[in-house]
């Protein structure tokens, strides 16, 4: 019986922390992160949650970009540039993009 209560308590705490976790969409909606021409996210306004989110997203992106570069016989920098252009084009109105080193609200 005590074990069941402990499991329920741990699950509840886990759900509470996930509710506080910053998602990519919420970070973009809050103007905390934006897309760059390099194909990666960057902080518009920095805090510890955004840094962790940016690191996680950019690590996943880089792995995918490396796969695409290898598969298509092109350089990583070429894939990054293409991905950056596409990400900026697809960025929703009201979200930030970095143009020539400056943050611009689309």
Report pTM: 0.73
In tens, the pLDDT along 32-81 reads: 999 999 999 999 987 777 999 999 999 999 999 999 999 999 999 999 99
The residues, any chain, with a CB within 8 Å of residue 97's CB and separated by 6 or more, are: 34, 35, 36, 88, 91, 103, 104, 106
Summarised one tens digit per residue, pLDDT across range 82-101 is 999 999 999 999 999 999 99
Task: Provide the residue ranges of all domains of the chain, joining segments of one domain with +.
Answer: 24-105
């Amino acid at each position: 019986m005590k074990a069941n209560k402990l499991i329920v308590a741990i699950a509840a705490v886990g759900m509470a922390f996930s509710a506080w976790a910053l998602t990519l969409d919420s970070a973009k909606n809050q103007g905390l992160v934006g897309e760059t021409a390099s194909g990666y996210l960057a902080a518009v306004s920095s805090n510890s949650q955004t840094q962790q989110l940016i690191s996680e997203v950019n690590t996943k992106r880089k792995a995918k970009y490396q796969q695409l570069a290898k598969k298509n016989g092109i350089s990583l920098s070429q894939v990054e540039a293409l991905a950056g252009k596409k990400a900026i084009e697809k960025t929703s109105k009201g979200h930030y993009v970095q143009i020539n080193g400056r943050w611009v609200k689309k």
